[in-house]
Amino acid sequence: MDILNHIMAALPLIFSLEVIIAMILGTAVGITVGALPGLSATMGIAVLIPLTFTMEPLVALGMVAGIYNGAMYGGSIPAILLRIPGTPAGIATVFDGYPMAQKGQAPLALKVSLASSAIGSAVSAVALLLLAPPLAAIALKFGPADYFWLALFGMTTIAVLLSNNPAKGLLSTCLGLVVGMVGIDAMTGAERFTFGSMDLLSGINIIVLLTGLFAIPPAIDLAVKRLSEQKEAPIDKKEDRIRWKPFIPVWIKSSIMGVVIGIIPALGGNVAAVLAWNEQRRSDPDNDQYGKGEPKGVAAPECANNADTAATLIPALTLGIPGSAVAAVILGALLVHGLRPGPQLFRDDPEIVFGFMLTMFVTAILMFVIGRFGARAFVHVLKAPTTLLAPMIICLAVVGIYSIHNSMFEVWLMLFFGLLGYGMERLDIPTAPAVLAVILGPMAEESLRRALLISGGSFDYLVKSWISWIIIAMIAMTLIVPLWKRLRRLQPSRGDQE
Amino acid sequence: MKAKMPITLLAAGLLGATGMSSAWADYPERPVTMIVAYSAGGGTDVAARTLAPYIEEHLGQSITVLNKPGAGGEIGFTALAQAEPDGYTFGFINIPNLLAIPIQRDARYAMDDIDPVAQIVYDAGALSVRSDSEIDSLEELVAEAKENPGAVTYGTTGIGSDDHLAVLSFERKAGIKLRHIPFPGAADLRAATLGGHITMASMNMSESVDDMEAGNLRILGQMAKERWENASEVPTFQEQGYDVVMGSHRGIGVPAGLSEEVFATLSSAVEKAVADPEFQEKSLQQGLPIAYQGPAEFEAQLEVLNEELMQLWNDEPWAQTN
């Protein structure tokens, strides 16, 4: 009841003109920032913080909420249209979104992505509003051993992506694992693969790798065959009406996954999206269609990565533990306005906290409205002359990467990965396993070593908690069930299964 | 802006050549850059950006904050050390990181390349346990560690961080051995401590005090000479018989070789900015433990600390070198 009172008290505050304008502006900026390769929500908000010094807290926070939600959706736009995920969380959207666009279903894919994102964000915001304190307790239950299993669970996704050519897929995975090892080893302080370069000491930023591998090769492709034969994808106008009913179970499942992963610190929207796509594919009896343009394969990751947004703020606001880089920056924004995150925040400034949480909900709806208008315009990207599009993508990637750390080194590194990615594509080596390995490899390694440090080297510690067992069961299910199914069918059907 | 630069440079060159040093009294005549060696939105960045407008006011010029994060601060510190010593570039320096980096690896800057201007913040280190822990004081902690060597685990924000160095110093002085579990940041460390996955956290006071007030953590001691006013009920290490004074200092530094006039103008602007009641109020809101020290005092403190760290490294290197 207390919570409802606080919500009622905060409601009038967020419907002031300034806050509404801030939310609309924030959402639009967020979608743009998310859609541009190299730029992410973290950066958008970080850049914004100094500008909000003089604003009222809720005006600033409304804008932050808009950017955060908008960017998560925005990342799917180039993922679908150009197979360039705008943010790391958009990588799983490429799997089915781009094939859909190639089949001429770009508007449909964008629509599915938008609706799924908005629903994910809204569910997440409701979870934040109503369940924040009880859910926060889950965040603390996760120990190093559980993180290790979770990272392994994520790695099973890589196994799925290997389907067509395991040798090439593993090559790409190894590349990712090596890239993930670069930098100062967090456990001993030793420098690994830094070649005496100061710029490599803090490792290779995931956005640098992602942008290099995913934004540059398509740009080179566009430039090379500028008289695009297959690029002029037909845009199918007929399929404007879709039946949403089959999506409802996808949304329910993916939202829950997104919220849970959001609550667990150190896991972000990228992990949520990948796991949701994998789970959706696993559970669908018709799973051959995934990776070839299945709309549900767009709905699952987009719903999950948006369901991650407000959920990440649950431990951040209630415990002061930011679960991701974005959440950390948002805590910075709160701090600037004299709001110290943690248990006392809800006690001391309830109307602002609840107001902020409400803006997370309202911007989910705003995102849907703005996205609907925008979608018509976005699709025209496909019609843009490729001679223009290619240099534009490269420019944006360069500017975006430079702005992360004001580092020219990272720009060169990104371009290097771009050439590498182009080479990999020509050789038919998939690039997605490399990116997933960079996200999950260091997490698996560090949490395993941390767990063994705590236990003093005893491996029992890895199977001590019930959370570990649940995740182990999920891993077993993902790996064994398809095998078992295939054995039962005992008929070698179409070539490309797992 | 761009077009004006060469003219200014030319003018500066001419003045330098004719030895008209009094013309430096015009400093600052263009915007000043402040390098922050950590990411935008992080603790150091928020502190720097909170202070910047007040320095602007007293310096009479606008300040551009430039984030140069990476390599634990080394990239930003190197940029600061290599900047032109003309007063148009200064930076936030974090101690002990600034001192520890050249000790533990071949750094691209040396301590002599940077002159300290002022200490702004001193955030003492602290050891905290979950409030349901049986350990109630440093004495009990030491007794427990002596009884079960290596059984007590403590988390820090990483190898070579102030939290880590502080515990190493404490271990030496108490004659005990604890098991170190490094975490990537304060957030992960807090989660692991509150979740009971490790015995104890080595975190700064400002990072621990809210949890103490909420009843989640118990702070065993603060590593300051005097108790911090926001947590006056927590005894210091020295009071409990362990001479450990360590924590995270944030201050302002300039590339070595500034002319005396420019240095004086800058350091007095910084001093006035920190003393500004509005800034004091803002930092109180943010829970920043402000502790101003002028150039001489700050430098002397850094020298003492540097000695201590070098000795620590010689006895027991805290990071693997390769």
Helical spans, DSSP H, in A142-199: 144-161, 166-181
Write down the residue that tokens 């001193």 correspond to: B122
- At A1 the pLDDT is 54
**Using CA atoms, how far apart are residues A118 and A366, in angstroms rounded to an integer?**
9
CA distance linking residue B124 with residue B227, whole number of Å: 9
What residue ranges do the domains of chain B occupy? 30-122+247-315, 123-231
Shortest alpha-carbon distance between residue A19 and chain B (Å): 22
DSSP code for B236: B
pLDDT band at residue A343 using 50, 70 and 90 as cut-offs:
low
Least-confidence region, from A106-115, A296-305, A394-403, B162-171: A394-403
CA pair distance B68, B42, nearest whole angstrom: 12
Q: Which residues 125-154 of B have a C-beta within 8 angstroms of A?
A: 150, 153
Query: What is B30-122+247-315's CATH number, 3.90.1580.10, 3.90.199.10, 3.40.190.150, 3.40.50.2300?
Result: 3.40.190.150
Q: Exposed/middle/buried for A428, CB within 10 Å: 0-12, 13-18, 19+? A: exposed
| Mean of the per-residue pLDDT values of chain A | 84
The mean pLDDT value for A463-491 works out to 82
Reply yes or no on whether the pLDDT at A227 is more than 80: no
Chain A residue numbers with beta carbons less than 8 Å from the beta carbon of B196 are 140
- pLDDT, tens digit, for every residue of B104-159? 888 889 989 999 999 999 999 999 999 999 999 999 999 999 998 888 999 998 88
Decide if pLDDT at A9 tops 50: yes
Spell out which residues of chain A touch residue B197, defining contact as CB-CB under 8 Å.
143-144, 454
Judge: B197–A143 Cβ closer than 8 Å, yes or no: yes
The stretch A390-408 carries a mean pLDDT of: 86
Query: The whole model's pTM is what?
Result: 0.80
Q: What pLDDT does B20 receive? A: 43
Nearest to B217 by CA among B239, B234, B229: B234
Q: pLDDT tens per residue, chain B (322 residues)?
A: 344 444 444 444 444 444 444 444 588 888 999 999 988 767 788 889 889 999 999 999 999 888 888 888 899 999 999 999 999 999 999 999 999 999 988 888 998 999 999 999 999 999 999 999 999 999 999 999 999 888 899 999 888 888 999 999 999 999 999 999 998 888 788 889 999 999 999 999 988 888 898 888 999 999 999 999 889 999 999 999 999 999 999 999 999 999 999 999 999 999 999 999 999 998 888 888 999 999 999 999 999 999 999 998 998 888 887 6
Chain B residues 265-304 with a CB less than 8 Å from chain A: 282, 285-287
The reply to whether residue B211 touches residue A188, judged by beta carbons under 8 angstroms, is no
Alpha carbons B36 and B9: distance in angstroms, whole number: 25
Residue A95 has pLDDT above 80, yes or no: yes
ipTM: 0.79
Nearest CA in chain B to A465: B197
Place domain B123-231 in its CATH homologous superfamily: Periplasmic binding protein-like II (3.40.190.10)
Are the beta carbons of A328 and B41 separated by less than 8 Å?
yes
- The confidence score (pLDDT) of residue B25 equals 56
**Chain B residue closest to A53 (CA)?**
B50
Distance from CA of B189 to the nearest CA of A (A): 9
* A21, pLDDT greater than 50: yes
Q: What is the largest CA-CA distance in chain B?
A: 72
Please check whether the two domains, B30-122+247-315 and B123-231, share a CATH topology.
yes
pLDDT in tens, A402-459: 887 888 999 999 999 999 999 998 998 888 888 888 888 888 999 999 999 999 888 9
Q: Would the CA dihedral through A468, A469, A474, A479 be positive or negative?
A: positive
